[in-house]
Amino acid sequence: MKKFKLLIFALFALFACGSNDAQDSKTDNTAAKQANAGSYEINGDLTNIADQMIYLDEITAKGRVVVDSAKIDASGHFVINGNLNEADIFILKINNSNQDLLLISPDEKISITGDGTRLRDVKVSGSEGTSKLRELDEKLEVVQLKMDSLTAISNTLANDPNKAAKLKALNESAMKIINSHIDYLKSFINKNLSSLASIAALYQQVGRQPLLSMDNDLDIFQTVDSSLTANYPTNVHVKNLHSNITSTLSKKSKESFKNALVDVGSVAPEISYPSPDGKVISLSSLRGKYVLIDFWASWCSPCRRENPNLVSNYKRFHSKGFEIFQVSLDKTKDAWVKAIEKDNLLWPNHVSDLKYWDSEPARQYNVRSIPSNFLLDPDGKVIAKDLRGIALGKKLAEIFGS
């Protein structure tokens, strides 16, 4: 997998969920560069690429915009220079299949040397921001290679008599790899709060699955937003990040009001939907027991990381009167069933209408992010919400004893 694509996808993902004022942000950003700007210079000496044009593109809300170009001479040398008021992210390219990212700051003199037919592998010096982007991308590529290796192994297990156990082990290994990289991203962000590279870290993905999200890591997004807004108030990427966070906070405020309808002390609304084998299971059939309603999906990494905790607590407290009623937001039965098997979800109470985010039970309970859960007492009243990790075991121990 090309390293360039791993990071550029993350940056365009920022605009995919950006606000309608993105174009205004671009206009403000361009104006800022024209006032009190500092100069930058890119000196290149490339092999195997003489007498071709090289371009510098800016990443904007509307796509790429060519801001400069130069002719690579017969010896492989070229010079591109310009002015910047703030650091910004650019694409240096020969063509769309031969390109690399640069994070350029005012007054930088950047040197680029190496094989011009592989810009993503050339040596770049004199640009601290670019070095940070490359560190991020190299770490992500290692993660992707490890995940691809696990997938390749799983594809060989079709007729293996120990398939279930081996798939469980592979899933545990995958979760360790992902969790380790998430820890790395958080550490990287905390060390680079004044760098635009922290935005790329926020939006890294593996298999199109975000590693950090505003639903689960809003504090990190807000920390980056606060720092970058102070340092780069007119930058289009920073403005879009701020707009996304503002929108998320507004939605959360509305959801908090809505969620009061299914809050601690209220009776949980009925849920009655098919299980994987087509049998309709009703939440009310579990009255008389303590029930955890858990909203999840096979495609949700945080949900899958939480499932072993659910299994552990189910084994510990089921005989004392604890049940789990899981509602999946999957789109296909196959993905849903495979996840149940891989994660060894022992309880029989699995239901779904297979409508993804249009899930009727999720709408009924005002669930806007997963994992999300509600703990009910034997009368069907909500006594706690969103118990995860050690919090779930602690609450159940209070109820049933250790």
Same structural domain for residues 326 and 205? no
Phi, psi torsion values for 64, nearest 5 degrees: -95, 140
> pLDDT (tens digit, 9 = 90+) per residue, 314-358?
999 999 999 999 999 999 999 999 999 999 999 999 999 999 998
* Domain enclosing residue 382, as ranges: 263-400
Examine residue 7 and state whether it is found in any structural domain, yes or no. Answer: no
- Least Cα distance to 38 among 126, 108, 127, 106 occurs for 106
Asked if the peptide bond before residue 302 counts as cis, ω within 30 degrees of 0, the response is no
Same structural domain for residues 173 and 234? yes
Q: Compute how many other C-beta atoms are within 10 angstroms of the C-beta atom of residue 8.
A: 20
CA dist 26 and 239 (Å) reads 9
Same structural domain for residues 140 and 251? yes
Examine residue 150 and state whether it is found in any structural domain, yes or no. Answer: yes
Same structural domain for residues 148 and 250? yes
CA dist 216 and 209 (Å) reads 13
Same structural domain for residues 146 and 247? yes
Same structural domain for residues 254 and 340? no
CATH assignment of the domain containing 306: 3.40.30.10
Domain termination site, one of 126, 160, 187 = 126
Distance from chain centroid for Cα 76:
39
Rg (CA), the chain: 25
Q: Which helix (H) or strand (E) holds 378?
A: none
> Quick one: pLDDT at residue 1?
37
Asked if the peptide bond before residue 371 counts as cis, ω within 30 degrees of 0, the response is yes
Give pLDDT tens digits along the chain (402 positions): 344 444 554 555 554 444 444 343 343 444 444 445 689 999 999 999 999 999 999 987 677 899 999 999 999 999 999 998 889 999 999 998 999 999 999 999 999 999 999 998 999 999 999 999 999 999 999 999 999 999 999 999 989 999 999 999 998 999 999 999 999 999 999 999 999 999 999 999 887 788 998 878 888 999 999 999 988 988 888 998 998 888 888 776 665 555 556 788 889 999 999 999 999 999 999 999 999 999 999 999 999 999 999 999 999 999 999 999 999 999 999 999 999 999 999 999 999 999 999 899 998 898 888 999 999 999 999 999 999 889 999 999 999 986
CA dist 362 and 283 (Å) reads 14
Number of structural domains (the chain) is 3
Beta carbons within 8 Å of 81's beta carbon, 6+ residues apart: 39, 40, 41, 42, 68
Same structural domain for residues 117 and 231? no
How do beta strands 350-351 and 322-328 pair?
Answer: parallel
Examine residue 9 and state whether it is found in any structural domain, yes or no. Answer: no
Same structural domain for residues 328 and 350? yes
CA dist 93 and 99 (Å) reads 4
Domain termination site, one of 95, 126, 157 = 126
- Tokens matching residue 253: 């405020």
Q: Which helix (H) or strand (E) holds 272?
A: strand 272-274
CA dist 81 and 189 (Å) reads 29
- Tokens matching residue 91: 């694409």
Examine residue 383 and state whether it is found in any structural domain, yes or no. Answer: yes
- Give yes or no for a contact between 374 and 268, defined as CB atoms under 8 angstroms apart: yes
Give alpha helix (H) positions in 72-162.
128-154
CA dist 402 and 393 (Å) reads 9
pTM for the model: 0.59
- Tokens matching residue 374: 């509600």
Same structural domain for residues 392 and 277? yes
Examine residue 6 and state whether it is found in any structural domain, yes or no. Answer: no
In eight-state DSSP terms, residue 349 is: -
- Least Cα distance to 112 among 59, 40, 64, 58 occurs for 40
CA dist 402 and 398 (Å) reads 8
> Quick one: pLDDT at residue 120?
87
Same structural domain for residues 151 and 182? yes
Domain termination site, one of 77, 102, 126 = 126
Same structural domain for residues 108 and 162? no
Same structural domain for residues 338 and 210? no
